[in-house]
Amino acid sequence: MPVLRSMLFSRSALGATLVTIGLTLPVLTATATPHSNEVTQAHGNSYVNDTILPPLEPWQGNSEQLMVDANDPWATPFEQSQGFASPNYDDTIAWLDKLIATSPMLSKVSLGLSPQGRDIWMIIASQEGANSPETLSQNNKPTILVQAGIHSGEIDGKDAGMMLLRDIVFANKQHLLADANLLFVPIFSVDGHERSGQYNRVNQRGPENMGWRTTATNLNLNRDYAKADSPEMQHMIRAINRWNPSLYIDVHVTDGIDYQYDLTLGYNLKQGLSPASYAWLEHAYKPAIYSALTAAGHIPGELVFAKDNTDINQGFSLWNPSPRFSNGYGDARHLPTILIENHSLKPFRQRVLATYVMLESTLELMGTQATTLKSAITQDSYRYPKTITVKWGEEQQSLGRDFKGIDYSLEHSPISGNKIIRWNGKPKSYINLPVHSNTKPLKQVSRPEAYYIPAQWQQVIERLDIHGIRMQVLQQSTKVSLSQYRIDDFEFQSKDYEGRQRVSVNTNLHTMTTTLPAGTVKINTKQPLGDLAIMLLEPESRDSLLQWGFFNPIFTRTEYIENYAVEPMAAKMLADDPALAKEFQQALANASFAQDPKARLRWFYQRSPYYDQAYLAYPVLRSH
């Protein structure tokens, strides 16, 4: 394992003495800057919600030495506030522009505009001073894409990244770019970031002003990867396609229960679509990052969610998300993706410093892991499994888990009339708690050679293009034997979700011979994003474009037949077809059917040549 270096600053200006330490050492002898503890004490109740949140045990870690004095000319706004505030959009970009102007290693590009007209900026950091995807790729180094503020109130990554970029330029940390490139998006949800206030996140200890969880159009960007409705997400996905990162880090802040961990990380499981990337994350990445964080005074852990927030002994759910989420999307497109969830009940200062250590040690790790990471991505991208699971169910895992929790009690609440949990701030260890996860296959499909999309489904084709999925347009009509899903039953959600009316379906597959017209779009699944195409186009996949509502018109009947026409038609059908007459008599054995005149007439209409054969037929065809 490489030595994970970090810099210790004195209280004087940045140009003063720097001490290099190895974060792999079990004990660091440096003393914290005098102001760090004083600030913590002085601002013990600095956040408006401090008095209603659970108590805190005092924290002091070696990573506090990463902060420079508030009066240093290159102190970030976070450091100028002594770790309690985060700058607004304009001040963030102004500070970064000032830093970029000092170094040929840094440049800045806009990924695109938000709905309110703000640029989504990305900082490019490379030893060679690359400023485009083409020049960046020429150095043949792995590229790490770090985004902060997909939920803009969860902004720890922004302030950590600003500090790290400063130290790369001024604090002898240029070596971090010797074996890797860094792409840094300080604020992803830029409009939500500017809907800022003290009262936006009641469960979170800072910063003093926090952005809003959703965009200006009230979309949650970390539910938007698969459907890509928002301009912000479309910009990000295009950037992923153009800049081709090897590792994607999405920095969040999570809540739910109290525990000792200040930084938790999650990624999709070995049962997913990128097993080689999972193995790299599990066996190469996680141990190195845990070691660095522990040495710096933090407590890292795996991202889990309590089965019951009022009874920790019920155990945990280990997340294996679908492609609507960043790490589920990364799994489907074979881009190793890490979801960082800092703990909302830990102070902002502590969370930012943990994020800094995580980012720095990630860059350090690339020095020894670039080749193995590239190999894992290649294995996953060209694996082409014959069977793919598109729907998962939950099951208990064979191994339990120890957990570094916080002790609590349950009290009867006269306000709610229910039991309420009271965390007391005291560490408590839980041994071998049960773990559940959605790792039980419920629906598996064979891998088709290709999908065929009729040209009229333009929005679907456009979204697939945004994802970077390769497509071919048929130049002439072609007669082929294919399979088509017909929908047996369906259920629309009672409420809109993320701006769409979702629908769940059960289907069956039929073979058919048809002539595909010129203009039909063909998608071959033997391509690096072939698995992503399958997850988006298989109708029973949880994040298929069908379930997101892109095909909702197929659930609407637009042609009908009057009763006066059905009656004589039905009589003729019975007279001409004895088998049909027998089938109708069998149907009448069902009392509810027999007593429903409309159902009886509809029965004949559905079996007539007048019936709309496109109704409840999924228009995307697949090879056998």
Q: Cα separations (Å) of 489 from 19, 43, 414, 540?
A: 67, 58, 46, 12
Query: How many other C-beta atoms are found inside a 10 Å radius of the C-beta of residue 405?
Result: 21
Catalytic position from the list 341, 360, 498, 540 = 341
559 is catalytic: no
Asked if residues 113 and 232 have their Cβ atoms less than 8 Å apart, the reply is no
**What's the CA gap between 468 and 343, in Å, rounded?**
34
Parallel, antiparallel or unpaired: strands 300-302 and 263-266: parallel
Tokens of 173: 């940390």
Torsions phi, psi for 549 (to 5 deg)? 95, 10
Asked if residues 432 and 398 have their Cβ atoms less than 8 Å apart, the reply is no
Per-residue exposure over 568-590, b if at least 16 CB sit within 10 Å of its own CB, e if not? ebbeebeeeeeeeeeebeeeeee
Q: DSSP character for 314?
A: G
Question: What contacts 365, CB < 8 A, 6 or more positions away?
Answer: 2, 4, 284, 285, 288, 289
**What's the CA gap between 8 and 361, in Å, rounded?**
15
Asked if residues 343 and 351 have their Cβ atoms less than 8 Å apart, the reply is yes
DSSP H helix total and E strand total for the chain: 17, 22
Positions marked catalytic: 341
